[in-house]
Amino acid sequence: MSAPERTASWQLGWWRTRQLLGVAYAVPTIVFVAVFFVAPLALVIRMSLNSWPLLTGDQGLNFPKNYVSITTNRLFTPAVVFTIEYTLLVTVLLIGLGLVLALLVQGSGKWVGMLRTVFLLPVALGLASASLLFWGFYSPSIGPISPILEGLGLIDQPISFLRTPLSALLSTTFLIVWKYAGLYMLILLVGLQAIPDEVYEAGALDGASRGQIFRHITLPLLRPSLALALILCVTGSLLAFDQFYILTKGGPDNRTVTVVQLIYREAFQRQNLGTAAAVSIIVLAALLVVNAFQFRALRDPERA
Amino acid sequence: MNGFGTRGAVMLTAAVSLALGLTVLGVPAGALAQDAAMGVDDGTRITMWSRAATQARADALVKAYNATHKNQIDVTFVPTDDYQTKVGAAAAAGGLPDLFSADVVFMPNWTSAGLFTDITDRIESLPFKDNIAQAAIDVSTWDGKKYGLPFIVDLSVWMYNKKLFRDAGLDPDKPPATFGEFVAAARAVGKLGGGVAGTFFGGNCGGCNVFTWWPISWADGQPVMNPEGTESNLNSDTMKQIYAGFREMVADGTVLMPDSETEAGPTWTGYFPRGVIGIMPMPASLQGMANAALADEDIGVTSIKGIKGGESTFVGGDAIGISRDSKVPDAAWNFMAWLVGDEAQVEVVAKGGNVVARPDLAANKYSSADPRLVTFNTIAGKGQTPFAKNFGATYNDPQGPWIPLFRDAVFGDPSRIDAHNDAINESLNP
């Protein structure tokens, strides 16, 4: 009957509703994460611990056989080394070129709009389609590049884009740089435009040179965008598959086999989901370490 | 309006009288028994997968079946390189189509894993069961049970360009009778220059050289594996002489380079029709071969020969079976039984210029018109189909152990052949 009692019950109800509401808001995300991340992850972990041929399914526990057999596989170490080499090469080129392009098109000149579109256009193409396109360009049988250059008198011999391990790596890297430079330009452009003009003006008033402004103003303030670009680029490159699967098939002489190609080969050529899952778990662990390290190194020192 | 009405009436009358006629005549008892052997044709929709490499010929067969039957087949052609993957993934998920074909070399892997329905009794009931090409049935047999029939028969032969032979001073009507003569002929053509090469091979393609080099060894009576497919003889003296022959031709410029070294498979059959190759192994089909750069009468065909002579071929192509997941095996069997029957083999397969899956029909009205087709059909009986449970992972996988063996033998360090052969044995017995 009394007012305080009613207030108490009202307060309790309000508290409950708020908590329920919070849970309700979170449910879709929880369900998504559970169904599309936790459950598959649990399945992959289980596969990696069991003997699991592709065509006959789970044959029971065999830990640690999958991990031993894959890490002693003759292709494992070369694949890890090659993937890291490729990641370093591609990351340096993509971030460097992305930054140059972003600086080039950050103003509001006459051609800037068109240039931005041109640089961004290849991003819209699927990676598999782009790889097939370049496979055609590079093919000695149907490729148009060598005949055109020969017609112009620039070369005497047809170029073999995929003949040696080095040329195969460089040809694939060229495709990736062509395809993704625009994306990193866009990410860094957004970062550049978020830097207030006043900071530059203050720097100019203090008599800073262009180089000093770039080193001491642009780069530090670009840190969050650079961090995002770096994490995307390193993760993407460590998981490289389509471009090598289509362009080189891991050749010549198994010198361009990436770690994800190894997963694919274990699962579908050798029909062993157990060892494929074991590599996947190793890759996941490596990515976690790399990303944690990157977050740490690139964290904004003032906000930390 | 009137015209249509009249035509409709005429057609209806014709249909009714045809139906009446059949009813009055009755169906002969023998045909009824054959119907049981032929499965069910009741308008069922049948799903089917096949690989892109043999699409032209497979599609012709499916179209002919759909045009003459109530059952309708929905066929999906899968890129050849992804076919094993797609079937493997579907098998794991229980989602195989009613019918699916397989490169014959993959059959043991899939039959041993139980992907197909046992059709031993159905094959037994076919009146012409003894006349079906045995190679495809043998390779589809596991533990004494039969799971497949020949779908597409693909053989390897040597094709040579008669115009280039004439230009090089060779007799276009006297194809090589030994592997040594093959090398000599290629060398003579290679000396012509001007963008012309003596020969070509897929130097980064495992399947290509299985298909085209192994028959040279078979022709000499030297097997490449034991019958169980667990032990490799790819380091035999015969094979080493074959590798050496190609190595010499690479060194002296007879082989088209660098194309041969980089060819991973997708375009290896595209070079000969361009009229720039003297002699090379090719699949035995004339379909779509002649063009502005290569006249039909300049395409010479002969069987693959051994070092000492003799002849052989790789009896490849696709076998087909009913999947274990099929809900309509009787309807699916109707297609398979029709497929190896006289009509499909003569009016579709032979008419298209291809090798029939029924040796008893090898001499037919289409093949006798072109002596090259007679050659194809004759050598079909002299070839082999290799058998190994782990064939794909050993010989077709781009990261498998066979490609490094022949690449070292031909382009690299031949002293490593024996070590590579050990790796092959390891892969055959995981």
Residues of A in contact with B400 (CB under 8 A): 269
Q: Residue A291: how many CA atoms within 13 Å on its side-chain side?
A: 15
Which pLDDT score is estimated for B7?
Answer: 46
Query: In whole numbers, what is the pLDDT of chain B averaged over residues?
Result: 89
Give residue B351's identity as a one-letter amino acid code: K
CA-based nearest distance A103→chain B, Å: 40
Q: b/e map of A151-190 (b: 16 or more CB within 10 Å)? A: eeeeeeebbbbbbbbebbbebbbebbbebbbbbbbbbbbe
pLDDT of residue B100: 96
Which element (helix H / strand E) includes A293?
helix A273-298
At residue A241, the 3 state secondary structure works out as: coil
A and B: number of Cβ contacts within 8 A: 77
Among residues of chain B, what percentage have pLDDT more than 90?
71
Q: Considering only CB atoms, which chain B residues are within 8 Å of A140? A: 258-259, 262
Nearest-CA distance A160 → chain B (Å) = 7
Q: Taking the mean position of all CA atoms in its chain, how far away is CA B219?
A: 19
Q: Sort A14 into a burial class: Cβ within 10 Å, 0-12 / 13-18 / 19+.
A: exposed
Instruction: State residue B54's pLDDT score.
Output: 86
- With vertex at residue A163, the alpha carbon angle to CA A160 and CA A167, rounded to the nearest 5 degrees, is 80
Cβ–Cβ below 8 Å for B399 and A142 = no
- Give one DSSP letter per residue of A145-200, joined into a string: HHHHHHHTTS-SS---TTSSHHHHHHHHHHHHHHHHHHHHHHHHHHHHHTS-HHHH
What is the ipTM for the molecules in this complex?
A: 0.83
pLDDT score of A5: 52
Q: Which residues have C-beta within 8 Å of that of residue B74, sequence separation ≥ 6?
A: B45, B46, B47, B48
Q: Verify whether the Cβ–Cβ distance A55 to B267 is below 8 Å.
A: no
Report the residue of chain B nearest A53, measured CA to CA. Answer: B92
Residues B179 and B246 sit within 8 Å (Cβ to Cβ): no
Residues of B in contact with A155 (CB under 8 A): none
pLDDT(B35) > 90: no
Does residue B19 carry a pLDDT above 80? no
- Residue range B40-62: average pLDDT? 92
Q: Token match 């069961």: residue? A: B129
A268 contact B CB<8A: yes
B264 and A268 within 8 Å at the Cβ level: the answer is no
The 3-state DSSP class for residue B77 equals strand
Cα A124–chain centre separation: 16
The whole-angstrom separation of Cα A232 and Cα B42 is 56
At B33 the pLDDT is 42
Contact A162/B at CB under 8 A: yes
- What is residue A6's predicted lDDT score, i.e. its pLDDT? 52
What lies within 8 Å, CB to CB, of B65 at 6+ separation is B71, B73, B335, B338, B339, B344
For B406, name the nearest residue in chain A, comparing CA atoms only: A253
Overall average pLDDT of the B367-382 stretch: 84
Please give the pLDDT value at position B212: 96
Cα–Cα dist B205/A252, whole Å: 11
* pLDDT average, residue stretch B272-293: 91
CB-CB under 8 Å, B399 with A265: yes
Residue of chain A nearest B202, judged by CA positions? A141
Taking CA–CA distances from A58, the nearest residue in chain B reads B92
Contact call for residues B102 and B148 (beta carbons, < 8 A): yes
Residue B189 neighbours by CB distance under 10 Å:
25
Q: What is the pLDDT of residue A172?
A: 96
Taking CB atoms and an 8 Å cutoff, what residues of chain A touch B404? 253-254
Residue B79 — very low, low, confident or very high, per pLDDT cuts 50/70/90? confident
pLDDT of residue B261: 93
Determine phi and psi for A220, rounding to 5 degrees: -60, -40
The Cα–Cα gap between B301 and B296 comes to 11
Measure in Å the smallest separation between the Cα of B131 and chain A Cα atoms.
33
Q: Which of B75, B92, B112 is nearest to B339 (CA)?
A: B75
pTM of the model: 0.85
Query: pLDDT of B190-237, one tens digit each?
Result: 999 888 999 999 999 999 999 999 999 999 999 999 999 999 999 999
Q: Which residue has the tokens 């961004």?
A: A120
Judged against a pLDDT cut of 70, whether residue B158 lies above it is answered with: yes
B104: confidence class by pLDDT, cuts 50, 70, 90 = very high
- Asked if B393 lies within 8 A of A271 by C-beta distance, the reply is yes
Beta bridge partners of B47: B74
For residue A257, the chain B residues in CB contact (below 8 A) are 399
Residues 4-43 of B with CB under 8 A from A: none
Average pLDDT for runs of 10 along chain A of length 304: 50 72 92 95 96 88 93 94 97 96 86 89 93 93 87 85 93 96 95 91 90 90 91 95 93 93 91 94 94 82 55
Q: Do B110 and A55 touch (CB under 8 A)?
A: yes
Chain segment B169-194, per-residue pLDDT in tens: 999 999 999 999 999 999 999 999 88
- Find the CB nearest B399 among A141, A163, A257: A257
Distance CA(A204)–CA(A45), nearest Å, equals 57
Inter-helix orientation angle B402-410/B417-428, to 10°: 170
B43: left (phi over 0), alpha (psi -120 to 50) or beta: left
The residue of chain A with its CA nearest to that of B203 is A252
Answer yes or no: do A55 and B403 touch at CB < 8 A: no
**From A252-261, B24-33, B158-167, the region with the lowest mean pLDDT:** B24-33
The pLDDT value recorded for residue A110 is: 80
B92 shares contact with chain A (CB less than 8 Å): yes
Are A54 and B92 a contacting pair at CB < 8 A? yes
Which of B109, B114, B264 has the CB atom closest to A251's CB atom? B264
